[in-house]
């Protein structure tokens, strides 16, 4: 209770230093375990005789083998640190929307459409194709609907990945390499590592042990953004979570938490969605899946998450399906990304049209 701000700051810095030391120890332990102590000396002797290609291959292999698991460990540790109040602390949900509840006047927004991007997201600014998609959606939305975009789906604090308290130094270097490194192969590796971090976050969201913490934190982040957009729960607005690819998993993970925090109905629309179906969806208004017939990534999700298979009729997903809450919209020929993806000029308008059709149908249904 009596802890001062400088004392908290010193704890945070000490935690970061301990974490970086732990990373170094883990890296050394993994290397020794892979190679073996008896072979270390021989490996160092033979290193001079190895070809450049083999050296690069071994280095890259160890890099991925060590760094990707460490990214997953850091994600879990960061959530624990946030949950325990070591960083910024957890805001009280009841306090997030108090200012807006006292605010009167202005145009009433009946629906807030919240876009959650896929695993390619690096920062709040979207790539040109995604921006064009969102701009078209914004222009075609009804006047009493508001699009909420530029949310960073894969960080739990309201900051960019490059501003993460414990790993900003690492991500900023990766982003720099991805954009400016003269070697194209290094640029590719940097991009893969960024996406690997986001894939791990999707996996954590679907996990029954750590997922609830991750999803609750993201729900608080979305609520903070809604407060900035003027959301007032007393006005009877609805929330629509629009998720692309891995953003579909994040949308399903936060839906029930947002419903509890904001006290309003929540609807989910995914396109090319990859998700587990492990979450609580019984109290959502509706779940709509916009899928392409040539989308292997979304189809792989049904295999990666067996709870979505009809062989397990008592899984959470199959129970929701039997309740009639899940609807499918199929777009012939659409792929997951690229020139036949949902953001391409060929399918962008059709995907936006399907989303608007779903919004109109649920509006009529009440």
Interval 147-165: pLDDT, tens: 999 888 877 655 444 445 5
pLDDT single digits (tens) 106-125: 568 899 999 999 887 766 67
Residue 38 has pLDDT above 90, yes or no: no
Is residue 168 in a domain? Answer: no
pTM: 0.74
Neighbour tally for 37: CB within 10 Å: 8
68 lies in the same domain as 116: no
283 lies in the same domain as 146: yes
pLDDT at 4: 44
pLDDT at 304: 85
Distance, in Å, from the CA atom of 253 to the CA atom of 280, rounded to the nearest integer, reads: 8
User: Which one has a higher pLDDT value, 63 or 12?
Assistant: 63
Is residue 101 in a domain? Answer: no
54 lies in the same domain as 144: no
Closest C-alpha to 253, from 226, 213, 223: 213
146 lies in the same domain as 252: yes
User: Which one has a higher pLDDT value, 134 or 40?
Assistant: 134
At a CB cut-off of 8 Å and minimum separation 6, what does 168 contact? 162
Distance, in Å, from the CA atom of 297 to the CA atom of 276, rounded to the nearest integer, reads: 13
314 lies in the same domain as 225: yes
Distance, in Å, from the CA atom of 162 to the CA atom of 60, rounded to the nearest integer, reads: 23
Tell me the three-class secondary structure of the chain, residue by residue. Answer: CCCCHHHHHHHHHHHHHHHHHHHHHHHHHHHHHHHCHHHHHHHHHHHHHCCHHHHHHHHHHHHHHHHHHHHHHHHHHHHHHHHCCCCCCCCCHHHHCHHHHCCCCCCCCCEEEEEECCCCCCCCCCCHHHHHHHHHHHHHCCCCEEEECCCCCCCCCCCCHHHCCCCHHHHHHHHHHHHHCCCHHHHHHHHHHHHHHHHHHHHHHHCCCCHHHHHHHHHHHHHHHHHHCCCCHHHCCEEEEEEECHHHHHHHHHHHHHHHHHCCCEEEEEECCCCCCCCCCCCCCCEEEEEECCCHHHHHHHHHCHHHCCCCCCCHHHHHHHCCCEEEEEECCCCCCHHHCCCCCCCHHHHHHHHHHHHHHHHHHC
Q: Where residue 319 sits, what CATH number does that domain have?
A: 3.40.50.1820
Is residue 315 in a domain? Answer: yes
User: Which one has a higher pLDDT value, 365 or 306?
Assistant: 306
At a CB cut-off of 8 Å and minimum separation 6, what does 76 contact? 204, 210
284 lies in the same domain as 347: yes
pLDDT at 300: 87
Residue 318 has pLDDT above 50, yes or no: yes
Is residue 287 in a domain? Answer: yes
Under the banding of pLDDT at 50, 70 and 90, the label for residue 301 is confident
Is residue 164 in a domain? Answer: no
Residue 147, φ and ψ in degrees, nearest 5: -90, 125
Domain count within the chain: 2
Is residue 103 in a domain? Answer: no
pLDDT single digits (tens) 245-278: 999 999 999 999 999 999 999 999 999 999 999 9
Distance, in Å, from the CA atom of 28 to the CA atom of 46, rounded to the nearest integer, reads: 20
User: Which one has a higher pLDDT value, 276 or 82?
Assistant: 276
33 lies in the same domain as 122: no
Per-residue b/e over 168-185, b at no fewer than 16 CB within 10 Å? eebbeebbebbeeeeeee
Is residue 181 in a domain? Answer: no
19 lies in the same domain as 150: no
Residue that terminates a domain, selected from 22, 48, 83: 83
Lowest average pLDDT, out of 41-45, 251-255, 341-345, goes to 41-45
Lowest average pLDDT, out of 39-43, 296-300, 317-321, goes to 39-43
Q: What's the domain range around 55?
A: 5-83
Residue 137 has pLDDT above 80, yes or no: yes
Is residue 180 in a domain? Answer: no
336 lies in the same domain as 258: yes
pLDDT at 196: 74
309 lies in the same domain as 248: yes
CB-count exposure of residue 12 (10 Å: 0-12, 13-18, 19+)? middle
pLDDT at 287: 97
118 lies in the same domain as 58: no
pLDDT at 358: 96
């Amino acid at each position: 209770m009596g802890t001062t701000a400088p004392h908290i700051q010193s704890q945070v810095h000490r935690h970061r230093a301990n974490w970086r030391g732990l990373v170094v120890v883990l890296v050394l332990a993994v290397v020794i375990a892979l190679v073996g102590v008896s072979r270390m000396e021989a490996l160092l002797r033979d290193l001079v005789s190895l070809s450049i290609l083999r050296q690069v291959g071994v280095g890259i292999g160890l890099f991925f083998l060590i760094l990707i698991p460490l990214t997953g460990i850091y994600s879990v540790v960061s959530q624990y640190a946030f949950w325990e109040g070591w960083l910024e602390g957890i805001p009280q949900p009841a306090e997030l929307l108090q200012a807006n509840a006292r605010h009167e006047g202005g145009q009433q927004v009946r629906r807030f459409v919240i876009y959650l991007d896929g695993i390619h997201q690096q920062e709040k600014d979207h790539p040109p194709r995604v921006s064009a998609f969102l701009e078209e959606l914004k222009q075609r939305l009804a006047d009493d609907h508001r699009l909420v975009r530029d949310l960073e789906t894969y960080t739990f604090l309201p900051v960019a990945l490059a501003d993460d308290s414990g790993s900003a130094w690492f991500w900023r270097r990766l982003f720099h390499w991805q954009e400016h490194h003269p070697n194209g192969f290094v640029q590719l590796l940097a991009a893969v590592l960024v996406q690997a971090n986001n894939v791990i976050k999707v996996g954590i969201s679907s996990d029954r042990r750590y997922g609830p913490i991750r999803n609750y934190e993201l729900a608080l982040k979305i609520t903070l953004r809604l407060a900035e957009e003027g959301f007032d729960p007393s006005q009877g607005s609805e929330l629509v979570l629009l998720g692309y690819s891995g953003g579909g998993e994040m949308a399903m993970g936060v839906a029930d938490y947002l419903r509890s925090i904001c006290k309003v109905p929540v609807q989910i629309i995914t396109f090319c969605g990859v998700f587990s179906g492990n979450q609580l969806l019984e109290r959502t208004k509706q779940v709509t899946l916009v899928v392409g017939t040539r989308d292997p990534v979304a189809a792989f999700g049904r295999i990666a998450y067996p709870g979505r298979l009809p062989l397990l009729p008592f899984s959470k997903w199959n129970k929701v399906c039997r309740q009639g809450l899940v609807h499918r919209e199929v777009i012939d020929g659409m792929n997951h990304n690229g020139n036949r993806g949902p953001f391409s000029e060929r399918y962008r308008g059709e995907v936006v049209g399907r989303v608007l059709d779903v919004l109109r149908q649920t509006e009529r249904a009440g």
